[in-house]
C-alpha cells in the first residue's frame, strides 16, 4: 500500500483496504496516484512505500522519501576545460615556472619539455597560463566514465572505418575487373584449364562453407526436457553418444597409449598391432597428420612467417585475412614457378616434348658416301663439316695471330704471338718479344749493380726506453738484465698475493724503486679496459 497513513482502522476498513490492494494488483482497480500525479506501482511492498515517522508530514500517498530529497548546491557535473588558456605573458614574472614561464605551476610539476636554458633566464617563449578550475563533483559525477568526453572525437573513428570500407570495395571491384579481363583475353586451352581450376576452387570454397555450417550446427548443444514422476522438469545435455566405447577402454595395458582425462585425448595408437581394416580409432595424431589439419598447419606457419617479415597478419585475430593472403601467396608462387619453367625451356629447350632427334645428331654420322684419292682429296661426295659452338672461335684482333690466353707466364695470361700480358693490346710480333727480353735483361743488370754498390748501414744498438708515466725523460735507458730480474720479482710477488699460503709474515718494504721496477710493474699490470685481459695467465 502506497500510503503513509498509520491511523487506527477498524476491522471492516482494514478488510476493504486489503481488497482494494488485491484489486489494484490484479488490474481491476486504478492505481494509486502520488502528489505529482504519477501512478504508484501496487506491487511495491509496504515497508518501502510507507514513509518513516520523521518524514510523514502529510497523509497523501507518496514515494518522495525514496527519491533523493537532499540536494547539495555545491555539487556539479561539469568537467575541466581542457587546453584552455587564461593569460599570455610577454616577459617572465616573479614566482612563475623557471622552465616555461607559466604562473599556474612550478618547475617541478611542469609538463613542458625541459629546456636547455629556462624562460627565467632567456625571457623568451613564455608559456600561457592554464585555466585552473576547482569544483566538487557529486556521487554520479565522480563515477561517470564518460564525464568530459568529447563526442566529436568519435568522428575520426567513423572516418577511418569508412575509408577502410571504401578501400576494400575498391579493391574488390579491381579484382573483379581483372578477372573479367583475364577471362576475355585468354581463349586458349590453358585459359580453359585455368577456368576449370578456378571453378574447382569455387566448389571447394562452397564445400568449405557448407562444412563450416555443418560444424556450427554440430557445435550446438541440444537440450531435451526430462520429466520425472514427481512432475519436476530438467534439461539434459547430449555431449556425446553413450554407445561409443571410451578411448581408455580400447587397451587396458598400463604401458599402452597415454590417455589424458582432462582433455579426453589419446595421441598414440592404443592398438598398434591390430588389423588396420578392423580398427576405427588410431589415435589423435592420425587426424592431425591427415586431411585439412595439414592445410591448417601450413596456414599457421605462413601467418607466422609473414608476421616475422613485417606484415600485419594474425591467424586468430583475422582468420579470413590470413586465409586470403595464403591463397594469394600460393597463386603467386605457382605463377612464378611456371614463369621460371617457361623461361628455362625457352632458353634451353625441352627435349622431352620435342620429336625424335635425327640419327645424324645422335650418332654423329650419316649414310652419305664420300670417296678420296691417294692424296686425300675428295673425289665424290661432300666432306663432313665439324660442328661449332655458338661462341666465336679463332677471332684475331689488333693484328694478333693467336687468341688471348694462349700464353702463360708468372701467373699471367697473354698472347703467344707477341708475349704481351695486356689484353686488347696491338701485336708487336717478334720485335716486341726482343724488346721485352732486352728490357728485362737491363732491369736485372741495374738491380745487380745497385745491390753491389749499396753500402750496408751501420748496426745500431737497440736501447730499451722507459714507457711508464708522463714525466719520464725521453732519453731514459733501461738495463735489460735488471729489467728481467725486476720482472721475475714482480711475478713472484703476484703469485704470493694470489696464494695466501705463500704469503710471508714479516714483510719488508723497499722504498728505493728503480726505473726497471716501475717498467716491470707497468708491463705486468692488468688493465680493466683491455679486451684481452681474460686471456692473461
With helix as H, strand as E and coil as C, how does 9-62 read? CCHHHHHHHHHHHHHHHHCCCCCCECCCCCECCCCCCHHHHCCCCCCCCCCCCC
Q: Are residues 311 and 249 in the same domain?
A: yes
For residue 434, pLDDT beyond 50: yes
Q: Are residues 57 and 108 in the same domain?
A: no
Quick one: how far is CA 441 from the chain centroid? 69
- Single out the residue in 98, 133, 148 at which a domain terminates: 148
Residue 469 lies in a domain: no
Q: Are residues 55 and 105 in the same domain?
A: no
Residue 183 lies in a domain: no
pLDDT at position 218 is 41
Give me the percent of the chain exceeding a pLDDT of 70.
Answer: 73
C-alpha cell of 467? 714507457
Among the residue ranges 226-240, 398-412, 471-485, the one predicted with the least confidence is: 226-240
Q: In the chain, count H helices and then E strands.
A: 13, 10
Q: Are residues 286 and 252 in the same domain?
A: yes
pLDDT digits over 464-479, tens only? Answer: 555 555 556 666 778 8
C-alpha cell of 228? 520425472
Residue 79 lies in a domain: no
Q: Are residues 249 and 323 in the same domain?
A: yes
Q: Are residues 516 and 488 in the same domain?
A: yes
Whole-angstrom distance, CA of residue 323 vs CA of residue 310: 17
Q: Are residues 251 and 338 in the same domain?
A: yes
Residue 197 lies in a domain: no
Q: Are residues 320 and 254 in the same domain?
A: yes
Residue 165 lies in a domain: no
C-alpha cell of 340? 621460371
Instruction: Determine the structural domain holding residue 57 and report its residue range.
Output: 11-66
- The whole-number average pLDDT for the span 212-225 is 46
Q: Are residues 254 and 322 in the same domain?
A: yes
Residue 279 lies in a domain: yes
Q: Are residues 27 and 95 in the same domain?
A: no
Rg over alpha carbons for the chain, rounded to the nearest Å, is 52
Nearest Cα neighbor of 110 from 120, 119, 99, 121 is 99
Q: Are residues 337 and 251 in the same domain?
A: yes
pLDDT-derived band at 455, boundaries 50, 70, 90? low
Residue 167 lies in a domain: no
How much is the pTM?
A: 0.24
C-alpha cell of 451? 745491390
Alpha helices in 27-153 (DSSP H): 46-49, 119-122, 139-142
C-alpha cell of 414? 697473354
Q: Are residues 56 and 105 in the same domain?
A: no
For residue 189, pLDDT beyond 60: no
CA angle 406, 407, 409 (to 5 degrees): 155
Number of folded domains in the chain? Answer: 5
Residue 173 lies in a domain: no
pLDDT at position 112 is 92
Amino acid at each position: 500500500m502506497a500510503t503513509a497513513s498509520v491511523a487506527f482502522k477498524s476491522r471492516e476498513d482494514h478488510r476493504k483496504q486489503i481488497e482494494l490492494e488485491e484489486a489494484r494488483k490484479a488490474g481491476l482497480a486504478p492505481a494509486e496516484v502520488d502528489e505529482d500525479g504519477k501512478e504508484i506501482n501496487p506491487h511495491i511492498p509496504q515497508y518501502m512505500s510507507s514513509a518513516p515517522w520523521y518524514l510523514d508530514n502529510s497523509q497523501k500517498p507518496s514515494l518522495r522519501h525514496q527519491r533523493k530529497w537532499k540536494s547539495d548546491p555545491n555539487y556539479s557535473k561539469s568537467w575541466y576545460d581542457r587546453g584552455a588558456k587564461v593569460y599570455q605573458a610577454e616577459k617572465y614574472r616573479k614566482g612563475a615556472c623557471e622552465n616555461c614561464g607559466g604562473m599556474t605551476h612550478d618547475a617541478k610539476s611542469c609538463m613542458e619539455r625541459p629546456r636547455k636554458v629556462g624562460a627565467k633566464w632567456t625571457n623568451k617563449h613564455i608559456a600561457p597560463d592554464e585555466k585552473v578550475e576547482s569544483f566538487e563533483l557529486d556521487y554520479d559525477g565522480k563515477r561517470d566514465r564518460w564525464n568530459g568526453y568529447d563526442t566529436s572525437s568519435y568522428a575520426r573513428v567513423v572516418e577511418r572505418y569508412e575509408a577502410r570500407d571504401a578501400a576494400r570495395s575498391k579493391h574488390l571491384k579491381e579484382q573483379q575487373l581483372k578477372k573479367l579481363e583475364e577471362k576475355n583475353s585468354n581463349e586458349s586451352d590453358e585459359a580453359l584449364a585455368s577456368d576449370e581450376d578456378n571453378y574447382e576452387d569455387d566448389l571447394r570454397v562452397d564445400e568449405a562453407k557448407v562444412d563450416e555450417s555443418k560444424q556450427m550446427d554440430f557445435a550446438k548443444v541440444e537440450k531435451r526436457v526430462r520429466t520425472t514422476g514427481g512432475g519436476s522438469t530438467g534439461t539434459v545435455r547430449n555431449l556425446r553418444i553413450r554407445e561409443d566405447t571410451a578411448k581408455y577402454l580400447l587397451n587396458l595395458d598400463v604401458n599402452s597409449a597415454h590417455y589424458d582425462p582432462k582433455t579426453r585425448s589419446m595421441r598414440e595408437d592404443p592398438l598398434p598391432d591390430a588389423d588396420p581394416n578392423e580398427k576405427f580409432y588410431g589415435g589423435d595424431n592420425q587426424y592431425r597428420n591427415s586431411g585439412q589439419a595439414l592445410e591448417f598447419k601450413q596456414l599457421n606457419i605462413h601467418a607466422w612467417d609473414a608476421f616475422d617479415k613485417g606484415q600485419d597478419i594474425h591467424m586468430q585475430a583475422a582468420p579470413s585475412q590470413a586465409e586470403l593472403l595464403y591463397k594469394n601467396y600460393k597463386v603467386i608462387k605457382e605463377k612464378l614457378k611456371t614463369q621460371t619453367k617457361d623461361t628455362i625451356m625457352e632458353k634451353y629447350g625441352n627435349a622431352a616434348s620435342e620429336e625424335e632427334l635425327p640419327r645424324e645428331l645422335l650418332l654423329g654420322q650419316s649414310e652419305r658416301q664420300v670417296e678420296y684419292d691417294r692424296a686425300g682429296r675428295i673425289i665424290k661426295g661432300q666432306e663432313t663439316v665439324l660442328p661449332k659452338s655458338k661462341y666465336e672461335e679463332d677471332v684475331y684482333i689488333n693484328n694478333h695471330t693467336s687468341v688471348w690466353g694462349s700464353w702463360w707466364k708468372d701467373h699471367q695470361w697473354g698472347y703467344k704471338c707477341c708475349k704481351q700480358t695486356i689484353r686488347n693490346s696491338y701485336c708487336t710480333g717478334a720485335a716486341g718479344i726482343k724488346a721485352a727480353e732486352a728490357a728485362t735483361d737491363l732491369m736485372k743488370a741495374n738491380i745487380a749493380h745497385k745491390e753491389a754498390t749499396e753500402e750496408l748501414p751501420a748496426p745500431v744498438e737497440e736501447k730499451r726506453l722507459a714507457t711508464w708515466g708522463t714525466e719520464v725523460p725521453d732519453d731514459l735507458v733501461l738495463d735489460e738484465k735488471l729489467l728481467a730480474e725486476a720482472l721475475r720479482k714482480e711475478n713472484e710477488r703476484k703469485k704470493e698475493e694470489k696464494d695466501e699460503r705463500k704469503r710471508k709474515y714479516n714483510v719488508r718494504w723497499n722504498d728505493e724503486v728503480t726505473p726497471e721496477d716501475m717498467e716491470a710493474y707497468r708491463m705486468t699490470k692488468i688493465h680493466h679496459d683491455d679486451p684481452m685481459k681474460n686471456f692473461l695467465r
